Amino acid sequence: MIYTIYDPTSGKIISTVQSSDQQDIDLTGKTSIEGYYSPTQYKIIDGHHVEITAAVASTRDWAAAAREIRNQLLAHVDRVNPIWYASLTVEQQTELAQYRQALLDVPQQESFPGNISWPTKPIWL
């Protein structure tokens, strides 16, 4: 099995390894996700691979790349079906709204785009 090793804080991909057991991989200060993801094409956010478009990656415009990642995460939230949304508890609806707002606020972080604190996606989402 191939695993992609990444920094959970920045989402930056560090390396890929092949191992028969994920527990055999030294993950000190890092995290892994199953599969191969190119560091020039992806970042790993909340355990999900997020594609950085070729145009953005080739320009090395990190602010644009961060916004692209943020937009993909927002698109995932905005795809929530209205019928399903209505079935969420008030707490879940509040969590979803807070997560969405935190994504919108990413570019306003003082350390943007160099060191982004990505908001944590609700577990149930």
| pLDDT, tens only, 57-84 | 555 677 887 888 898 889 888 888 888 8
Structure tokens at 25: 């991989």
pTM over 0.85: no
Give the model confidence (pLDDT) of 92-116 as tens digits: 999 999 999 999 999 999 988 877 8
Give the number of other Cβ atoms within 10 Å of residue 114's Cβ: 10
Mapping DSSP to helix (H, G, I), strand (E, B) and coil, where does residue 36 land? coil
Q: Cα separations (Å) of 61 from 35, 56, 111?
A: 26, 6, 15
Give the model confidence (pLDDT) of 3-31 as tens digits: 888 888 777 888 888 877 766 676 777 88
Residue 95 has a pLDDT of 94
DSSP 18: E
